[in-house]
Amino acid sequence: MLKTAKVELKTKTVEYGQNNKTRTVGLRSPFQRIFGFALVAGLFFFSVSSETWAKTSRIKDIVDVEGVRENQLVGYGLVVGLNGTGDGLSNSPFTEQSLIAMLERLGVNVRGENMNTGNVAAVMVTATLPPFTNQGSRIDVNVSALGDAKSLQGGTLLVTPLIAADGEVYAVGQGEVNISGFSAEGDAQSVTQNVPTAGRIPSGAIVEREINFNLEELQEVRLALRNPDFTTSRRIAQAINGFTGTPLASAENSASVLLKRPPDYQGSIVDLITDVELLPVQPDQPAKVVISERSGVVVMGADVRVSSVAIAQGNLTLKITETPQVSQANPFADQGQTVVVPRSDVSANVGEDVKLAVLDSGVTLQELVTSLNKLGVKPRDIITILQAIKTAGALQAEIEVM
């Protein structure tokens, strides 16, 4: 707990000048002088460490509290009111069966009848149940077509139970479907924008069941790091223990920190989490290079280092041009045949502007990027160069291929 000290400043009245004017002067005690020096030193320290402070993150932004989690819900339902853009009942038998079962529950018997409606679509409904959501609260739901429907525009989702992994119903969804795309077609051309077969219903489900989890009764919780790292885990524990003055936190491994509630703590574990989640911590990260072969994206961390290595990049380009010519017989010739004579032009470009760049040992990420840009290297070529540097043992980082 933080303690506060109350300082009383004593004053005295002093007469000065010809008219005996008075003023109030504060008496500076040794404690006050020390306090003033500490205040100036604190301001100087804050100005010096402002750059370091900017690199820190709050504990609540880099960890998750174990047990405080979302839950996925899923359901199967029907969307009605479509303007002929629904499922074809002949191609989607599950839609026809669901429609028949729904009408029978409403007292309409159509079993054995030949139905041909294009205004109904079978959909999968998904939602995320946030932690500690109370009964009666509303959550958003996503709706996606399951059959061969062309668009869900103008449709309304009928009552759909949403179940969790345990098979229990936790919410019920219903409402008008909002989509961000459209589809239009004519006899010779069609236009489709975004995805008209998927939509969203804001606040489209009502929570019917709560998930029982008494967090305030726990005596200890685990803080799960979103990016596991031993250094970051230890720094979190040190920040909490330094703030409270007691060893309440301990780094179990690179992914979790155990936080215990002290016996003499007046609040609950929720109060303790609130007290420590705003503490600043500077996260650490391993040197890693993430590359995507398909899209050509290269992401490199700030701690990536390269040992002494020389890089040269050049491409061999072959250009083949086909210009066939038609050869015909002379006019009035006794005999002749029209033939196509192939003519090919082959040229090669080995890269006359290829340069060799030398990277000194311990270069930073910025220096590496600058050197590669000077060579005119494209992103896909950078991927090959980084893999070659890693193979040579000069890249002091891990390469992860997506």
* Tens digit of each residue's pLDDT (9 = 90 or more) over 20-41: 444 443 434 433 443 343 343 4
**pLDDT at residue 355 in the model:** 56
Q: Give, for 380, the enclosing helix (H) or strand (E).
A: helix 379-391
DSSP 3-state assignment of 397?
coil
Q: How far apart are the C-alpha atoms of 303 and 283, rounded to whole Å?
A: 13
The neighbouring-strand residues paired with 222 are 258
Instruction: Judge contact between 276 and 290, C-beta under 8 A.
Output: no
Query: What are the angstrom distances between the C-alpha of 310 and each of 263, 289, 298, 377?
Result: 62, 19, 20, 14
Q: Which of 309, 304, 303, 248 is nearest to 275 (CA)?
A: 248
- Within 230-311, residue ranges assigned H as helices are 230-244, 269-276
**pLDDT at residue 393 in the model:** 80
pTM score, whole prediction = 0.64
**pLDDT at residue 42 in the model:** 45
Cα angle 67-73-76, degrees, rounded to a multiple of 5: 170
Q: How far apart are the C-alpha atoms of 379 and 296, rounded to whole Å?
A: 6
**pLDDT at residue 50 in the model:** 46
Q: Which of 145, 190, 155, 142 is nearest to 84 (CA)?
A: 155
Cα torsion through 355, 359, 364, 365, rounded to 10: 30
Q: What's the full length of the chain, in residues?
A: 402
- Number of Cβ within 10 Å of residue 149's Cβ equals 23
Domain regions of the chain by residue span: 71-181+193-207, 214-281, 288-322+344-401
Q: How far apart are the C-alpha atoms of 380 and 396, rounded to whole Å?
A: 20
**pLDDT at residue 386 in the model:** 79
Weakly modelled stretches of the chain, pLDDT under 50: 1-53, 316, 318
**pLDDT at residue 332 in the model:** 67
Instruction: Judge contact between 354 and 363, C-beta under 8 A.
Output: no
**pLDDT at residue 319 in the model:** 54
Cα angle 27-31-33, degrees, rounded to a multiple of 5: 70
Q: How far apart are the C-alpha atoms of 35 and 154, rounded to whole Å?
A: 70
Query: What are the angstrom distances between the C-alpha of 158 and each of 148, 204, 206, 346?
Result: 19, 11, 13, 66
Could you give the angle at which helices 269-276 and 230-244 cross, rounded to 10 degrees? 110
Q: Which of 215, 261, 217, 224 is nearest to 66 (CA)?
A: 224
Copy the structure tokens of residue 368.
Answer: 């590496």
Buried b (16+ CB within 10 A) or exposed e, 269-297: beebbebbeebebebeeeeebebeeeeee
- Number of Cβ within 10 Å of residue 321's Cβ equals 9
